[in-house]
């Protein structure tokens, strides 16, 4: 029998490959990589910006430059923190209970093992309270936690709806012609009634929506204040501005064009400074440039200037009254980038601190609350931030949305927590469904279960 000498090298080469492959698969002494850049990314179905809720799945994914994540030879071992495990590349998991979970992954590739872990917080989701999106403002809260919320969407009927822990107690329709000014905060009277501005009208209603009175305002106000003698409103039209005074029943007392003129500046905004005075903000040529100078005037309700301060930056048109001073906000665009600045002032207009914060905030509407020396601010995209009293650090920065979501209004509860109303955006193939949502949050940024 003759042997094919040419076939022998091929035989031994194939044998080498088989043995090498078999040995490769039977590696038992793996090298643990201690300086791996492997990290665990995640996306939350119910949340936004990594806000995760019970009842909604979370997808985890590995991210590294140490090995090809999708290579079929990579072996994944996931510990999802609640006793569940997975060997998938992208595990998809739903948590049943609230809490903080530690997620771990071990990725084995060739003779190396890569480890990573992260924590995830699972919270109670916001409550869907209406199937339709409706803009509105909180009007009132009772000591037993009942809210009055006025829906003010200009394209639909107007309702005052009363809620308790996300449940509708009553719903009362107002007149269709109302187009309530959501930029002017409603005022709650000592008797519990609510006063708000609608166009050129001053409306007083009970918390359940019953209309008490309507009074015509001679100047369409851009701001409306509770003053020592009743109410005062300002009207900004172009470069001109005026002040009107009313008694406690909404009857007009006097009307004056009293804002002191500042040469080479225009009026940017008017806000209340205290029960006896208001602010007028002046800017140069109106361009959105942060280095632009601005002037802030504090004026009493008789038209007298209390003080005037000039700044080498734009102070902003909205200024909120705090217990120990004021907080001013200004945002501007440079190209496609947006910047936001908060400036803390004392009662004389001197700068205490100025802070630039993330461009991820939306400032169309926002609500400011004091928590000790700190400030808690909820923004238009259902995002909140707590800033230290010194303004130097951020205590927490979280989203409370459900979708993504758009924030409508916030109120501080009698228990010290906050209730936020917003709209959840759900995108389907046929239509956009935008239900209204409500969520209660404590001062630590935790969602409270009702």
pLDDT recorded at residue 431: 47
Three-state SS string over 249-295 comes to: CCCEEEEECCCCCCCCCEEEEEEEEECCEEEEEEECCCCCCCCCCEE
Q: Beginning with the edge strand found earlier in the chain, give each strand of the sheet holding 318-322 in spatial order.
A: 318-322, 325-334, 337-345, 351-357
Classify the phi-psi angles of 145: left when phi > 0, otherwise alpha if psi is within -120 to 50, otherwise beta. left
Nearby residues of 190 by Cβ (< 8 Å), 6 or more positions away: none
Q: From CA 52, how far away is CA 400, in angstroms rounded?
A: 10
Residues 174 and 165 sit within 8 Å (Cβ to Cβ): no
Residues 145 and 160 sit within 8 Å (Cβ to Cβ): no
Task: Provide the 10 A C-beta neighbour count for residue 76.
Answer: 18
108-134 burial: b if 16+ Cβ within 10 Å, else e: bbeeebbebeeebebbbbbbebbeebb
pLDDT recorded at residue 284: 67
pLDDT recorded at residue 45: 78
Rg (CA), the chain: 30
Residue 157 DSSP symbol: -
Q: From CA 234, how far away is CA 252, in angstroms rounded?
A: 13
Q: From CA 149, how far away is CA 405, in angstroms rounded?
A: 18
Residue 445 DSSP symbol: S
Residue 224 in tokens: 């409306």
Domains belonging to the chain, first-starting first, are: 17-123 (2.60.40.10), 127-441 (2.130.10.10)
pLDDT tens across 91-110, in order?
999 999 989 999 999 999 88
Q: From CA 406, how far away is CA 353, in angstroms rounded?
A: 29
Cα–Cα distances (Å) from 243 to 222, 250, 256, 282, in that order, read: 10, 14, 5, 16
10-residue averages of pLDDT along the chain (450 residues): 53 52 56 81 72 86 86 91 93 91 91 90 78 62 70 64 76 62 73 79 81 79 78 70 79 70 71 81 60 82 86 84 88 65 92 80 71 88 85 85 61 84 56 68 86
pLDDT recorded at residue 135: 61
Give the CA count within 13 Å in the CB-facing half-sphere of 81: 21
* 192: helix, strand or coil: coil
DSSP lists the bridge partners of residue 398 as 384
- 3-state helix, strand, coil split of the chain in percent (to 5) is 5, 50, 45
Residues 172 and 158 sit within 8 Å (Cβ to Cβ): no
The secondary structure element, H or E, covering residue 225 is strand 223-227
**In 24-166, beta strands by DSSP E:** 31-33, 39-44, 52-53, 57-63, 75-79, 85-86, 92-94, 99-109, 112-123, 127-130, 136-141, 146-151, 159-164
End-to-end alpha-carbon separation of the chain, Å?
89
Residue 449 DSSP symbol: P
pLDDT recorded at residue 178: 53
Residue 64 DSSP symbol: -
* 9: helix, strand or coil: helix
């Amino acid at each position: 029998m003759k042997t094919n000498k040419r076939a022998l090298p091929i035989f031994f080469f194939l044998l080498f490959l088989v043995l090498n492959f078999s040995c490769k698969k039977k590696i038992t002494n793996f090298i643990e990589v201690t300086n791996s850049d492997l990290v665990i990314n995640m996306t939350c179905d119910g949340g936004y910006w990594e806000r995760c809720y019970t009842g909604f799945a979370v997808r985890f994914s590995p991210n590294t430059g140490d090995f090809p994540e999708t290579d079929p030879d990579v072996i994944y071992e996931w510990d999802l923190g609640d006793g569940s495990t997975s060997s998938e590349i992208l595990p998809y998991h739903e948590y049943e209970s609230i809490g903080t979970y530690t997620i771990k992954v071990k990725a084995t590739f060739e003779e190396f093992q890569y480890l990573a872990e992260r924590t995830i917080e699972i919270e109670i989701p916001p409550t869907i309270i209406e199937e339709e999106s409706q803009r509105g403002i909180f009007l009132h809260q009772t000591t037993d936690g009942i809210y009055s919320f006025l829906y003010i969407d200009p394209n639909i009927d107007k309702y005052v709806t009363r809620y308790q822990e996300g449940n509708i107690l009553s719903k009362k329709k107002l007149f269709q012609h109302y187009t309530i000014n959501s930029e002017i905060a409603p005022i709650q009277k000592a008797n519990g009634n609510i006063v708000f501005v609608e166009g050129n009208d001053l409306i007083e209603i009970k918390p359940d929506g019953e209309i008490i009175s309507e009074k015509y305002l001679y100047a369409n106000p851009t701001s409306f204040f509770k003053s020592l003698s009743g109410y005062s409103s300002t009207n900004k039209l172009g470069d001109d501005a005026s002040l009107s005074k009313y008694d406690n029943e909404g009857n007009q007392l006097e009307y004056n064009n009293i804002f002191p003129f500042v040469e080479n500046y225009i009026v940017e905004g008017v806000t209340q400074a205290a029960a006896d005075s208001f602010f007028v903000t002046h800017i140069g040529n109106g361009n959105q440039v942060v280095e632009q100078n601005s002037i802030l005037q504090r004026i009493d309700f008789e038209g007298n200037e209390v003080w005037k301060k000039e700044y080498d930056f734009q102070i902003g048109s909205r200024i909120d009254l705090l217990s120990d001073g004021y907080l001013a906000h200004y945002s501007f665009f440079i190209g496609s980038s947006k910047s936001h600045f908060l400036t803390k002032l004392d009662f004389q207009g001197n700068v205490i601190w100025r802070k630039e914060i993330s461009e991820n905030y939306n400032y169309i509407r926002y609500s400011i609350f004091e928590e000790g020396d700190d400030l808690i601010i909820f923004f238009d995209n259902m995002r909140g931030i707590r800033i230290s009293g010194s303004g130097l650090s951020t205590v927490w920065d979280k989203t409370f949305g459900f979708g993504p979501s758009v924030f409508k209004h916030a109120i501080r509860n009698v228990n010290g927590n906050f209730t936020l109303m917003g709209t959840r955006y759900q995108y389907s193939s046929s239509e956009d469904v935008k239900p209204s949502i409500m969520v209660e949050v404590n001062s630590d940024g935790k969602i409270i279960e009702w």
